[in-house]
Structure 1
């Protein structure tokens, strides 16, 4: 079945764009604020004898939260493919909001000892379950409402929400660091960044529950609830595409997590910037990447998809080390911004491309599962571990360029995977539904 006519659904399309993007912004902020406050959380939830060990433990918990994401992808993928994209997204947002508010209420290590990091892990696990549905589900809902010739732009708009969420996390961290003394920020100020998730999460939940489900899913009718479970069907019919997306999103997430979650701590520990300057540099770098994301979406709709995918991921590989070299050579606020901008030129289009590939590679009845599971595996194996791996590499090799070389390696692997695994017909023809 081909796409349903879109002209009559233009109003629904705009509503879905707005609601999907708002929900994504909220959930990604909730995920990333943990990383932006990693150095403070290390002080609050772990013994203070070894700051580096505390930071590594904090990033390890960040990674642990993603261990459950493949489980969440199977659960929410089943809901999304059997009962609709909308109920999966509404329930995921509710879980995420509850977990993030929980972070802001947790007792510190000084109050309850080892129970503090245990509770930190539990909240992060709940966040991981929720995140497994958000990004793939919101992206699919938007893309399945979009005209076929506007999917790259649509994906870039959702990607813009991710970038804005990163900017919000950086801005909140910057404002708190600027308004509060170090003692106030460590004592109670960090909790504010988590507790504001409650009101904005409720607003997002209200918006989500008023959405129409995607026309492609509605067209399946009762057949969506019949036959084998979506996971079995996806593994039986879409293994090649799912493996390709694991490698693709692995590289994209190493870059994304390194430039957002790990970068503020990297700029303070490796480069010597103040916390306020580190947050400011990261905020400017993230905001300037908006233009690249939108340009990438525009080009995706107009250029051959396979060639564009290979060129974009090769660009991620080529710019990785030079970006970190600029940051570490000059060690100034301006150099920190310039290096991050260079690294982010191709990362924005990379995520949009992955989403459009999922639309092309997978039929509607298994699309949520076949998209969410590879993305969750990639985040668990590569993305969420990137801050931990980057910090460990820098500490053990004493080479501040180590995170750039790590990104170079995974992006090169993804370039090869796209060249070998993406067939020309996948990039030129619609997949039957």
Structure 2
């Protein structure tokens, strides 16, 4: 008996979700495994005379690797809005897998001297270019395929895949720290974490080549190729919307980068935990992050997006300082886990809402470009520098809680953006949201 059209649609939708989540898992793992091995990489790629300076240099490369993300947003946004969401996603996972494999094979400072950190920076730049189109494209593709009553939950699944990638990175760090001697971890153990990731990326590449493109993008026909460049149309018609999404994503990415890129080293150096306990506590808090992401998706499917956004960002601001105080003053595994989890309860929903807000703010012809540009500007200017700025704040002030104050300031800016920039009664189930007007100028009016 032949499958019904409904069965075929469901099968195609599941294939799209699998393609988006597999690639996002790989991308997030590849990006964040660097943060988990920051202390080891500092020893391998910089002189050992000053451990603090080496760690700061490692975090600086983490930040510099994201400076190119706005340029990558323009490139992948152009591809996604001109040639299709699927084409952009295939290119992003291919670039990420190649650069991650190269990073795992790099010579160290003790072998080639100053060339080692230069090559490390090149790999991070390529990873940054890839990341500029990954999560944006995955969210857009899934959202535009999703049933109208499950759009928030569909986007949350993609973001949870990123959480699982982060959890896997933490688990990998924990397993290697437990099973290897410090000398083994420093000489070759860290390479395994990068090389395995590049192989998993081939799975994501295969799955993505077998999905159909977004139906609402296909419905545009040849119009995207006849119009002016997507970046030109975005800057001409959606500057205010870009600002709103950039400020929101700055706060969300600051929290995310700090949780998974800074806190593992923070737990070791300030929280006085062993590397294995730090990886375990951080990994368990990422489970809370995933649950928060799913809850956020459920809430925006039922309630106005603006109301949910305000509630989430207020909770994140209120939780930041108590979370850091608990980590610092307890100095225990339990305190580290509870402190991180308290904050992660709001961070997951905050990150997921950034993806949802982009669907509300931008119409289909410029959706990929608008989302990618706002998100990557936020990451380049604020998110990716969070580990470096946090470590610098502690060094300058002597206060281990100073990063939390930084978080509160940026989060208050996101609250203002949500209050001023979001429509008060916007529901994701509204029929106009996934399609939007064909002409972005009409959308701006």
**Fold match (TM-score > 0.5):** yes
Question: 2:341 — aligned with what?
Answer: 341
- Residue in 2 that maps onto 1:161: 161
Mapped partners of 1:333, 1:173: distance in 2: 16
Residues 1:370 and 2:367 are matched in the alignment:
no
- Does residue 9 of structure 2 align to residue 13 of structure 1? no
Cα offset for 1:426?
5.1
Name the SS for the 1:67 alignment partner.
coil
Q: Name the CA distance, whole Å, in 2 between partners of 1:304 and 1:10.
A: 27
SS at match of 2:222: helix
Q: 2: CA distance between counterparts of 1:299 and 1:427?
A: 11
Question: Deviation per CA, 1:357-384, whole angstroms, max 9, x where unpaired?
Answer: 1111111011000000000000001110
**1:208 corresponds to:** 208
Contact 1:156–1:348, Cα closer than 8 Å, also in 2: no
Q: How does 1:142-291 map to 2 (within 5 A)?
A: 142-291=142-291
Tell me which residue corresponds to 2:80. Answer: 80
Distance 2:211 2:172 in 1: 29
Give ranges in structure 1 of 5+ residues lacking alignment: none
Matched position secondary structure for 2:393: helix
Residue 407 (structure 1) aligned with residue 407 (structure 2): yes
* CA distance in 1 between partners of 2:95 and 2:65 (Å): 13
CA offsets, 1:389-409, max 9 Å, x none?
111111111111111111111
Offset at 1:197? Answer: 1.9
- Residue 303 of structure 1: aligned partner: 303
Q: Does residue 56 in structure 1 map to residue 64 in structure 2? A: no
> What secondary structure sits across from 2:47 in the alignment?
coil
Q: Deviations over 1:65-86 (max 9, x none)?
A: 1010000100110000001000
Number of aligned residue pairs: give it. 429
Residue 117 of structure 2 corresponds to 117
Structure-1 separation of matches of 2:392 and 2:6: 49
Residues 336-367 of structure 1 show CA distances to partners (whole Å, capped at 9, x for unaligned) of 01001000111111122111111111110110
Q: How many angstroms apart in 1 are the aligned matches of 2:410 and 2:197?
A: 33
Measured in 2, the distance between the counterparts of 1:114 and 1:310 equals: 47
CA distance in 2, matches of 1:84, 1:363: 15
Contact 2:305–2:425 (CA<8 Å) still a contact in 1?
no
Q: What do the CA deviations read for 1:224-243 (whole angstroms, capped 9, x no partner)?
A: 21111100111111111111
Q: 1:377-392, aligned counterparts within 5 Å?
A: 377-392=377-392
Moved over 4 A (4+): 5-8, 425-429
Shift of 1:289: 2.5
Structure 1 residue 13: Cα displacement: 1.3
> What's the secondary structure of 1:346's corresponding residue?
helix
Aligned counterpart, 1:332? 332
Q: Give 2:68's aligned residue.
A: 68
Q: Structure 1, residues 409-428: CA drift from partner, whole Å, max 9, x if none?
A: 11111001110111326557
Q: Which residue in 1 is equivalent to 2:442? A: none
- Contact 1:6/1:145, CA 8 A, preserved across alignment: no
Query: Are 1:322 and 1:339, in contact at CA under 8 Å, matched by a contact in 2?
Result: yes
1:99 aligns with 2:67: no
Tell me what 1:134 maps to: 134
Are the aligned partners of 1:253 and 1:378 in contact in 2 as well (CA < 8 Å)? yes
User: Structure 1's 226 and 251: CA in aligned 2 closer, same or farther, altered over 3 A?
Assistant: same
Quote the residue 1:39 is aligned against: 39
Unaligned runs of 5+ in 2: 438-445
Secondary structure of the 1:117 match is helix
Q: Is the 8 A contact 2:18 2:207 kept in 1?
A: no
Asked whether the 8 Å contact 1:361–1:426 carries over to 2, the reply is: no
Superposition CA RMSD, Å? 1.4
- In the TM superposition, residue 6 of structure 1 has moved relative to its aligned partner by 8.3
Partners of 2:290 and 2:166 lie apart in 1 by: 11
User: Could you tell me how far apart the structure 2 residues matched to 1:9 and 1:159 are?
Assistant: 23
